[in-house]
Amino acid sequence: MKRLVLAFACFLALVAATGNLLMAQGWSVQPTGTVNYLWEIRFVDANFGLAVGDGGFVLRTTNGGSLWTVIQTSTQNSLYGLSLIDANIAVACGGQGVIYRTTDGGITWNPQTSGTTNDLTGQWFIGPNVGTIVGRHGTILRTTNGGATWSPQTSPDTASLYQPFFTDANNGVAVGIMGTIIRTTDGGANWTKVASGTTEDLYGLSFPTKDIGFATGGNGVILRTTNGGQTWVPQNSWVSEILFSVSFVDQNIGTAVGGAGIVIKTTNGGATWYGQNGAVGNRLHEVWFINANNGWAVGTSGVITHTTDGGGPTSVRSLDQPDIPRSLSLEQNYPNPFNPSTTIRFSLPEAGHVTLKVYNVLGDEVATLVNETIRVGVHQVEWTADNVPSGVYLYRLTTGASTVTRRMTLIK
């Protein structure tokens, strides 16, 4: 106990002397130069990306979004779907059946013939040649020559489709209105409808592996499959907003976004989801991660929000408790030791501004988990220590004049 007190006193002195605090960035807004609705965004690496939106325009960046350039295509129709195959080739689709392709990194865009006037709302490419586009009234289009020609495919019904996802040239899934999920194992020559277990519209789709996939939609719906889309099981998202998009970087780490700026994240394959501060209150329509740290989300009023640390700390989730806590308390994290995630629970006898911070034994702040006003009750927050080394860490809860400190051990 004396060693703990001495260590804590030392790191407070060091913090006061140096001010060397390493703050998590979380999500931050990027200037775009437009107020039009942005529907989709894609990046091939940390620097080069494109976004599409209302009015037939494209946003282009070569520096991770610090500066976006607006490029107008030859259409005024909204562009809803986007595939960025590499730093040169991209395809966009949109209202009234428009399809555009670029081979110079989005500087110029050439129209392609779709053969339909139905709105085209989502797409997925496997390499530069093989791609699938879906849209209103069950529209499905397929190309095997980079879009030089598009051939219609037959959907099991006429339900509008919002998003396809292919894990290879043959195996794919598409989602749409009223819980529609369809599946193919032969490149779309045959599509079959599978049970989703929901009547909510489904918008987002992500498969980190051939077998494991996630779909999101209305009323906070999240569905998970472990057999390539043959069967789906619901997960608890803890939100009631529409979740328009989901992006997984592996079978464990994923992020979903939706109405009112909702951002939620999982680090355990969707077993639990935790909120993040997305930095905006705008509806977010699409999220795209290139790895566990670098991600972007787009939505209404031309908003683009960006993270370089996986979205930063997760926000606090309140737990249902019958009684008001009698005193301030900070529980031991669980599990402990941990790798890489752990949960910290604390109790507040009265509402107020709360900070919960993590320090290393030298006194450097390595994470801010909570920095907001929180109501009375029992709360918990998850910390994912992806970017810090193994060791002993101190976590400190402060509200008003009261402070409680505990220590935890990260073993990688």
Q: What domains appear along the chain, each with residue ranges and CATH number?
A: 2-24+315-410 (2.60.40.1930), 27-307 (2.130.10.10)
Residue 29 bridge partners (DSSP): 305
Q: What's the CA dihedral at 285, 175, 163, 142 to 10 degrees?
A: -170
Burial of 3 (0-12, 13-18, 19+ CB in 10 A): exposed
Residue 272: which residues within 8 A CB-CB, separation 6 or more? 266, 382
3-state helix, strand and coil shares in percent for the chain, rounded to the nearest 5? 10, 45, 45
Q: Which residue type occupies 73?
A: T
Among residues 247, 205, 249, the alpha carbon closest in space to that of 228 is found at 205
- Please give, one letter per residue, the 3-state secondary structure of 245-283: EEEECCCCCEEEEEHHHCEEEECCCCCCCEEECCCCCCC
Backbone phi and psi for residue 269, each to the nearest 5 degrees, phi listed first: 70, 25
Q: What is the pTM of this model?
A: 0.75
Q: Which residue has the tokens 């004396």?
A: 2
Note down pLDDT in tens along the chain; length 412 residues: 434 333 434 433 333 333 332 334 689 999 999 999 999 999 999 999 999 999 999 999 999 999 999 999 999 999 999 999 999 999 999 999 999 999 999 999 999 999 999 999 999 999 999 999 999 999 999 999 998 899 999 999 999 999 999 999 999 999 999 999 999 999 999 999 999 999 999 999 999 999 999 999 999 999 999 999 999 999 988 788 899 999 999 999 999 999 989 898 888 899 888 778 777 888 999 999 999 999 999 999 999 999 999 997 655 656 555 556 778 999 999 999 999 989 999 988 888 889 999 999 999 999 999 888 787 888 889 898 988 999 999 999 999 889 999 999 999 8
Number of alpha carbons in the 13 Å side-chain half-sphere of residue 163: 23
